[in-house]
Chain A
């Protein structure tokens, strides 16, 4: 593990509805360092702050206090659009990550320019066609035959595979996967998870992946963290993670609930 983290979250406090009676602190003094090549699976019960963590990193939620450093540079004040140049994100809902009335190729073309300014140059779908074809062929679900089809007519699995490709078509500094296979049937979910894992290791992507499946959290990635009450309460990596068993994780969760 290198010394300098890609993304460093320092004493992050995120509050929702602040100043109102329903004020709620979701992340409380959260600290997390993410290093280049880390593939971190994120576990936590509902309300532990997993999605808030992603929204905080991506800029959808402003932090109340703390620092978000990307390669040492403070990005806490940057907007979602600005941070898009560093981040690739796949949402849980297949409908969230793609433009339904645009074709698969048009969606990929949009993602190719993630974080770039958009000007009045004509888009060149044809010159990217072979690239898109090759990329979609890596997904074993027939997406490569549907480049000119509107995304709304794709299956959930194809849409989610497209969302994933859109997040990585331009290599992100950090890839955020928010339970991206949760809405899919078991077979499709397994396929996409395997393809995700393959792509992440081949391209050496740095990735944070939220999951509710303990098996997936143990099977994939080199590091596992558990969130509880807005803090990282468990963080294992490397050989220590490999030795981690489902039983131990379960008993850890039980202890959390009782605590």
Chain B
């Protein structure tokens, strides 16, 4: 039972990354590699701040700001420097590796004995692992609701249009460069916040903690899409969180089968590859019919 609760908690905390990546991957329509740098950047800034006595909540905000600044850099390299987005992301991600080492003053920082957002009377009174469930649920719910509202504003609609058809967006007077930079800042800011929360949940920050996180975040998005099929934009945002929890269950099952945690990145990649290939596989193996039984509208 505790492993199931722990998986839900981890699923909710990591869903923050999936929701953030949704903004660039699904709305702006490009894969943003910066996240592999901004996740440990958020963690590094937050843990470094906490060990210097900054309040955990303020430290989380600093993690968000640091992530947003890295996103700004990628955005400027892409829109003004005309560097292809994949490369721009990789450049900032690589730069973050050195920056993170400088911020942390070493390859990791432990939060042992420090005040974190989890050192709170209410959270400590909860049964084991329920603290991550609570923090994850509250954070991902707030972020999802704010994003839903944002996407319904005139600015949010211009942001969606930018990803949907940049030529049209420009001809309607939308500054697509600004929209792209804003999207990258928002997305990486939230990823930084994710790094801030997850490092506090783990009790440490490590310079290598960003490796493979784009795959995990993408897996939440893709699993949500594969499982829940065609949805409205708001429903798709919620599906990311559910996809993230399902992903954690899949990992839990695979670990129960006897794989070691060293295999996790390999397993994540395999799970994501299978999900991405699901339309092809579904056709080949006639799986779609079986999978969509039970009322899903995704019968294609």
A residues in contact (CB < 8 Å) with B: 58, 80-82, 84-85, 87, 89, 91, 95-102, 106, 109-111, 113-116, 118-123, 166
| A–B Cβ pairs within 8 angstroms, 28 of them | A80-B171, A81-B170, A81-B174, A81-B175, A82-B173, A91-B167, A96-B165, A96-B168, A97-B168, A99-B160, A101-B164, A102-B157, A102-B164, A109-B157, A110-B161, A113-B172, A114-B172, A115-B172, A116-B173, A118-B174, A119-B154, A121-B154, A122-B149, A122-B152, A122-B153, A122-B154, A123-B152, A123-B157
The answer on a CB contact under 8 Å between A102 and B161 is yes
Nearest-CB distance from A78 to chain B (Å)?
11
- The answer, among A98, A115, A118, for a CB contact under 8 Å with B158, is A118
Chain B residues within 8 Å of A96, by CB: 165, 167-168
Chain B residues within 8 Å of A121, by CB: 153-154
The answer on a CB contact under 8 Å between B165 and A99 is yes
Quick one: given A58-B171, A81-B170, A84-B170, are A118 and B154 in contact (CB under 8 Å)?
yes
The answer on a CB contact under 8 Å between A119 and B153 is yes
Instruction: Report the Cα distance A96→B165, complex, angstroms.
Output: 7
Could you tell me which residues of chain B, from 60 to 100, have a CB within 8 Å of some CB in chain A?
Answer: none
Chain A residues within 8 Å of B174, by CB: 81, 110, 118
Instruction: Report the Cα distance A113→B173, complex, angstroms.
Output: 8
B residues in contact (CB < 8 Å) with A: 149-150, 152-155, 157-158, 160-161, 164-165, 167-176
Instruction: Report the Cα distance A44→B35, complex, angstroms.
Output: 50
Nearest residue (CB) in A for B154 is: A118
Instruction: Report the Cα distance A82→B178, complex, angstroms.
Output: 14
Nearest residue (CB) in B for A116 is: B173
The answer on a CB contact under 8 Å between A115 and B173 is yes
- The answer, among B149, B152, B157, B165, for a CB contact under 8 Å with A118, is B157
Chain B residues within 8 Å of A113, by CB: 154, 172-173
The answer on a CB contact under 8 Å between B153 and A123 is yes
Chain A residues within 8 Å of B150, by CB: 120
The answer on a CB contact under 8 Å between B164 and A100 is yes
The answer on a CB contact under 8 Å between B153 and A114 is no
Nearest-CB distance from B228 to chain A (Å)?
17
Instruction: Report the Cα distance A121→B149, complex, angstroms.
Output: 10
Quick one: given A120-B150, A122-B152, A123-B157, are A114 and B164 in contact (CB under 8 Å)?
no
The answer on a CB contact under 8 Å between A123 and B169 is no
Nearest-CB distance from B15 to chain A (Å)?
23
Nearest-CB distance from A87 to chain B (Å)?
8
Nearest-CB distance from B164 to chain A (Å)?
4
The answer on a CB contact under 8 Å between A98 and B165 is yes
Chain B residues within 8 Å of A116, by CB: 173
